Amino acid sequence: MKVLGIETSCDDTSVALYDSGRGVVENLLSSQVDVHGQFGGVVPELASRAHLVNLLPLLDLLLRRQRLTPRDLDGVAVTSGPGLIGALLVGLSTAKALASAAELPLVGVHHLEGHILANGLSAPLVLPAVVLVVSGGHTELVLVPRVGRYERLGGTLDDAAGEAFDKTAKLLGLPYPGGPHVERLARQGDPMRFVLPRPLAQDPRLVFSFSGLKTAVKLAVESLPVPPSEQDIADLCRGVQDAIVDVLCQRLFQAARANDVAAIYLAGGVAANGQLREAVATGAARGGLHFVPPAPVYCTDNAAMIAYAGHLHLVAGRRDGLDLDSFARGPLQSWA
């Protein structure tokens, strides 16, 4: 089964081909970092326009490289939400047109489900599992008894962990996107200089809060000399990263113990953070839990995860009609 995936939920235009016999055959991506970098964040209108420019040439390139026509495909999977509504509509409209013209089944995939199932692209999924979905827009714990069944165990009360990384980078004058720059500088930082708060560390609930941490970072930045030295910046990056990773790991393993699962996983852009991956791997080994981190390329937004998720939907017999709509916000719901 050959499934085309389309992902346009935010600022990356991506198309991919998943073949049930070969895995991910192709995963193409057009980044908009240069477009949005000058503004320090994603501008929704510019993102939509860039998707309009980039999507069809990417799709044409993928089909030509694979020597396929649309009728050689067995299905089309597309991110239907959540995300930037204008950006989503570009991908959804294209997917509908392709599915209609080539008489292919269409599947809409929830963006978070795509990130969760991306773990199956690196190694066979071990379920039941607790998944920490952590990115610029999401910080959630999800129980996955089996593919297609999802239960939200808890999440952030305010800001996402990725947003805390990005805010830190912005306050320190680091380039957009900020998370990778914070991680790189943190490697040279002194972990004892800035010991920042671990929000809700004593709270028994499976919840997160990063607004207070962002305030603490702002105050720490204001305490630095002007301009701060490279070591000042590295030390603060290390303090921020330590605080975020500690809280994420605490809640992840708390959720795993409470639900007696066999495995834990990471999903989303922050799942590419090296310190987080190492900390989770260490904790998993200590607790006898299965853990294989997703390949970094499948942590950020990509169409391979959408194509793979779509394949699983189609195998299970699930389809969507051409009346499928996009949505800017909405919880991950079970479908199996």
pLDDT digits (tens, 9 = 90+) for 178-208: 899 999 999 999 999 999 999 898 899 999 9
What is residue 97's predicted lDDT score, i.e. its pLDDT?
98
Q: Given pLDDT bands bounded at 50, 70 and 90, which one contains residue 32?
A: confident
The Cβ of residue 164 has, within 10 Å, a number of other Cβ atoms equal to: 30
pLDDT in tens, 37-94: 778 788 989 999 999 999 999 999 999 999 999 999 999 999 999 999 999 999 999 9
Three-state DSSP class for residue 83: coil
pLDDT in tens, 94-130: 999 999 999 999 999 999 999 999 999 989 999 999 9
Q: Which two tokens stand for residue 255?
A: 């959720």
Count how many residues are written for the chain: 336
The Cβ of residue 186 has, within 10 Å, a number of other Cβ atoms equal to: 24
Give the C-alpha separation, 52 to 16, whole Å: 17
130, β-bridge pairs: 143, 264
What is residue 28's predicted lDDT score, i.e. its pLDDT?
98
- What's this model's pTM, rounded to 2 decimal places? 0.95
Buried b (16+ CB within 10 A) or exposed e, 64-92: eebebebeebebbbbbbbbbbbbbbbbbb
> Cα angle at 318 between 269 and 96, to 5 degrees?
70
Strand ranges inside 71-204, DSSP E = 75-81, 106-110, 129-134, 139-146, 149-155
What is residue 37's predicted lDDT score, i.e. its pLDDT?
78
What is residue 17's predicted lDDT score, i.e. its pLDDT?
98
Mind listing the domains of the chain with CATH numbers? Answer: 2-117+298-315 (3.30.420.40), 126-293 (3.30.420.40)
307 DSSP 8-state letter: H
Give the C-alpha separation, 288 to 253, whole Å: 11
pLDDT in tens, 129-143: 999 999 988 999 999
Q: Are 134 and 160 in contact (CB under 8 A)?
A: yes
Question: Which of 54, 9, 20, 22 is CA-nearest to residue 35?
Answer: 54
What is residue 157's predicted lDDT score, i.e. its pLDDT?
96
pLDDT in tens, 231-276: 999 999 999 999 999 999 999 999 999 999 999 999 999 999 999 9
Q: Given pLDDT bands bounded at 50, 70 and 90, which one contains residue 35?
A: confident
Cβ contacts of residue 227 below 8 Å, gap of 6+? none
* Cross-sheet strand order for the sheet of 75-81: 23-31, 12-19, 2-7, 75-81, 106-110
Q: Rounded mean pLDDT of the chain?
A: 96
What is residue 226's predicted lDDT score, i.e. its pLDDT?
93
What is residue 56's predicted lDDT score, i.e. its pLDDT?
98
Element (H, E) at 78: strand 75-81
Question: Which of 56, 122, 124, 44 is CA-nearest to residue 85?
Answer: 44
Q: Does residue 36 register a pLDDT over 90?
A: no
What is residue 262's predicted lDDT score, i.e. its pLDDT?
95
